[in-house]
Amino acid sequence: DTEVTQTPKHLVMGMTNKKSLKCEQHMGHRAMYWYKQKAKKPPELMFVYSYEKLSINESVPSRFSPECPNSSLLNLHLHALQPEDSALYLCASSPLGGEGQPQHFGDGTRLSIL
């Protein structure tokens, strides 16, 4: 079990659907992240939120829309996805300030686009 909770664990959706991935942490971390991981590949950073504000967007297509409603929650809204977007989506969090602060990952949402 991890201290970063992601729901749902699995999601199958069509290309015209709208769905949301959710992430929650109660460690008091003020930085939260979304990563995409394809099979046998490393995680790729998508977005970084610090103090609930978007600080990094790694040129992610607009069909992915992040939201940080408060310091404990991070959402990823999905709309009009493509089959190549099928992947494991990982949320992570870390403290802000100082070096050596590891990111703690959730178990991920395995997304399949039909």
Q: C-beta of 78: minimal distance to other proteins in Å?
A: 20
Looking at beta carbons only, is 18 or 41 nearer to other proteins? 41
CA nearest to 52, candidates 34, 35, 32: 32
Pick from 90, 109, 111, 113: which binds other proteins (CB under 8 A)?
A: 90
Told to check if 99 binds other proteins by CB under 8 A, we report yes
Told to check if 17 binds other proteins by CB under 8 A, we report no
Cα 33 to chain centroid distance, Å, stands at 6
- Residue whose structure tokens are 């003020």: 30
Strands 87-94 and 104-105: antiparallel
- Residue whose structure tokens are 């870390």: 94
Told to check if 60 binds other proteins by CB under 8 A, we report no
Told to check if 103 binds other proteins by CB under 8 A, we report yes
Q: What are the angstrom distances between the C-alpha of 22 and each of 9, 72, 98, 99, 101? A: 10, 11, 27, 27, 23
Told to check if 66 binds other proteins by CB under 8 A, we report no
Contacts with other proteins by CB under 8 A lie at: 2, 4, 31, 40-45, 48, 50, 55-56, 90, 94, 96, 99-100, 102-108
